[in-house]
Amino acid sequence: MTGGMMLLEILVAALLIIGAAFTLIGSYGLLKLDQPMKRLHAPTKASTLGVGSLLLASMIHAFASGDASLHELLVMAFLFVTAPISGNFIAKVHLHRQRGGKELPPPPEEKTWATYAEQ
């Protein structure tokens, strides 16, 4: 085994451990945090980077073993584009539950936030 291959193997193994650790921390945060809005923070962030580095590991492994493939980039890009949207929708569900939004700070120029506007 050459030195370069060895280096790539170490990189893949490190990325796998980092990705798994972040994913685990995301789920642990989901269970540990005590308010609904706080819970939103842990999984949406930790999981995207977690799965991101797992995909990166898979990509580097494919390059090291000879058949180059880049299509993992698609899953990664898709996750990074959709994570904010689903996070925003879940935040809206939390806001919707506390109707009227009395705990929220009011917006500067007018009366209401968009979630409550049409009611």
Partner 1 sequence: MSMRLTRKLLPHPLLSALLVLVWCLLINDLSLGTVVFGALLGIVIPMATRAFWPDRPKIGRPARLVSYLLMVIWDIMVANVQVAMIVLFKRNEDMAPNWVVIPLEIRTPEAIAMLAGTITLTPGTVSADLSADGHALLVHALDAPDPEAVRDDIKTRYERRLKEIFE
Partner 2 sequence: MIDTALFIAIGALGLAQILAMIRLVIGPHTGDRILALDTMVINAIGLIILLGLYLGTQIYFESALIFAMLGFVSTVALARFVLRGDIIE
Site residues (vs partner 2, CB under 8 A): 9-10, 12-14, 16-17, 19-21, 23-24, 26-28, 30-31, 36, 39-40, 43-44, 47-48, 50-51, 54-55, 57-58, 61-62, 65, 67, 69, 71-72, 74-75, 78-79, 82, 85-86, 89-90, 92-94, 96-97, 115
Is residue 95 a contact point for partner 1 (CB under 8 A)? Answer: yes
Phi and psi torsions of 55, nearest 5°: -65, -40
- Least Cα distance to 48 among 89, 70, 15, 81 occurs for 81
| Contact of residue 11 among partner 1, partner 2, none (CB under 5-8 Å per partner type) | none
DSSP-assigned letter for residue 106:
P
**Within 13 A of 9's CA, how many CA atoms are on the CB side?**
7
